[in-house]
Structure 1
Amino acid sequence: MLEELLRNHDGVITLAQAREIGMSGQAVRRRVQAHRWRRCGPGVYFVDDRPFTDAARIRAAVWSFGSRACASGLAAAWWHGTTKFAPRVVEVTVPKSSNGRSRPGCRLRRRDLLERDVVEREGLRVTALALTVVEAAVRNRSGAELMDRALQRHVELAQLWRAHLRNKGRHGSPAARRLLRAADDGARSEAERILVKLLGDAGFTGWHTNFPVAGYKVDVAFVVERVAIEVDGWAFHSDSEVFQIDRNRQNAIALHGWKVLRFTWLDLTQYPKRVINEIAAATGQTPSTQHPPPGAPERVPRRH
């Protein structure tokens, strides 16, 4: 029974679990004194005959705050499989009445969650997927990408909105609302406005908006250079029919001798410097600035 429990729980065990399978407190202490078990927190131990994995680290951190604690934020996102890398600091949510204190490697959140916003996965309490995505998106520099990927594969936008509205007032709530609004139906038009501002700030010349090419109107056209720029919203909006229409449109424009660049809302908001550089390479123009506008992130894209 002990080996099965350890195998299913990444080598982590609580004192309460040990007693449930018939072990005494003295038996636990002997194992700790013999350095066979490592104490990870109050009443939580790791059997030190295997690697201390990220799963073991997160499980031990959550369990050390009691039976009502749950993983949240990026820790929950990793546990659900929506992010590739486990966070260095484990966010743990506990009820407001809890007496626990934050410890190194943990970030404690005190709030009372509804039952529908907590699930158990592989024996660990974690925030439910919809709430996890909403919260993790504002903890991560690539939060918009995280939310977009989740919307493509795991959840619907309406579920995210409901989870957000059930938990208003939490840490990061305003930022999450902005992301949800962008993911709704205004991302494309907002992306067009951001693109126009980037072009102006970078000093590009000779471009026109909504310019007719091959029977279509392209979002931005560099007429002399014959470069067309098309703007998309978030990837999860693109179903197979829209995808086919966009490709037919792009092919028609290209067959008229135009070079086509496509940028998404994520490109324009997360990687503005890369967008400017690609437009400069396509048009042969030299932008007056190589820096993103104030408030925009400037970093190397990171794939998950």
Structure 2
Amino acid sequence: MLDDYVRRHDGVVTLSQAQQCGLSRFAVNRRVRSGHWRQCARGVFFVDDRPFTDAARIRAAVWSNGDRAAATGLAAAWWLGLTRFAPDLVEVTVPRVSNHIRRPGIRLRRRDLAPADVIERNGLRVTTLPLTVVEAAARRGGGPKLVDQALQRHTDLSALWAAHLRNKGRHGSPAARRLLQAADVGARSEAERLMIRLLRAGKITGWKVNQRVVGYEVDVLFRDAKVAIEIDGFAFHSGADDFQHDRIKQNAIALAGYQVLRFTWLDLVEYPDRVLKEVERAICAR
């Protein structure tokens, strides 16, 4: 029973869990003294016959802070499969009134999480996907890319806003609000403004905004160079009808002799230098 439990929980076990499996405190201490178990924190152990993985590290960090602790931020994002790499610093949220001490490798956040914002995944308490997205996106290493991916594959904007509003005042809340506002109905307009600022900062001239070509309005047009730029907001805004219309429009403009470049809000925020180089290459080639 204990072996199966340890296997399913990345080699991590607490004292109370070991006792539920029939081990006494003396038996646990004997395993620690013999080197078979490693003590990660008070009452939390790692069965040292396997690699100490990222999953074990995060599980031990959360369990070392009590039954009401939960993985949050980028740690929760990795646990839920939203990010590829686990963070070096494990963010753990504990109740506002608690006496847990800070430990190396763990960043403690103290606040009371609503039951609606916590789930159990693989035996570990973590924030729900919507709250995880809005919190992790505001952390260094998260950003708009995380929001974009979540909106495309996992959740919708209303759920993100609901989680954000239930948790106002938390660390990173203003940054999360700005990301959600950019992803809201004005995402495309905000992306257009970002493109204009980028062109001006790069001292690229010869363009006009909202110009018509063969009956269609183009976001940014280099008429002399015959280059049309289309700006998309977050990918989730494109439904099937919008997708079909955009392709018909793009083909018509291309058949009129224009090169069409498409950039997303994410391109402009995360890869501005690459966007400028592509624009410069296109207008210089004409």
CA distance in 2, matches of 1:254, 1:102: 59
> Counterpart in 2 of 1:260?
260
Structure 1 spans left out of the alignment, 5+ residues: 286-304
Bigger shift: 73-82 or 195-204? 195-204
- 1:98, distance to aligned residue in structure 2 (A): 1.1
Q: Are 2:213 and 1:218 equivalent residues in the alignment?
A: no
CA distance in 1, matches of 2:197, 2:93: 40
Bigger shift: 139-148 or 49-58? 139-148
- Counterparts of residues 1-304 of structure 1 (less than 5 Å): 1-284=1-284
Letter in 1 for 2:271: Y
- 1:142, distance to aligned residue in structure 2 (A): 4.3
Letter in 2 for 1:182: A
CA distance in 1, matches of 2:154, 2:275: 29
CA distance in 2, matches of 1:112, 1:4: 33
Give the TM-score normalised by structure 2.
0.97
CA distance in 2, matches of 1:143, 1:36: 41
- 1:190, distance to aligned residue in structure 2 (A): 1.1
CA distance in 1, matches of 2:44, 2:172: 30
- 1:152, distance to aligned residue in structure 2 (A): 1.2
CA contact (8 A) 2:89 2:106 kept: yes
Letter in 2 for 1:198: L
Question: Cα distance 1:142–1:261, how it changes in 2: closer, same or farther (>3 A)?
Answer: farther
Letter in 1 for 2:5: L
- 1:191, distance to aligned residue in structure 2 (A): 1.2
CA contact (8 A) 2:136 2:142 kept: no
CA contact (8 A) 2:74 2:142 kept: no
Provide runs of 4+ in structure 1 moved above 3 Å: none
- 1:12, distance to aligned residue in structure 2 (A): 0.5
Q: Percent identity?
A: 64
Structure 2 spans left out of the alignment, 5+ residues: none
> Cα RMSD (Å) of the superposition?
1.1
- 1:233, distance to aligned residue in structure 2 (A): 0.5
CA distance in 1, matches of 2:147, 2:194: 20
CA distance in 2, matches of 1:32, 1:40: 11
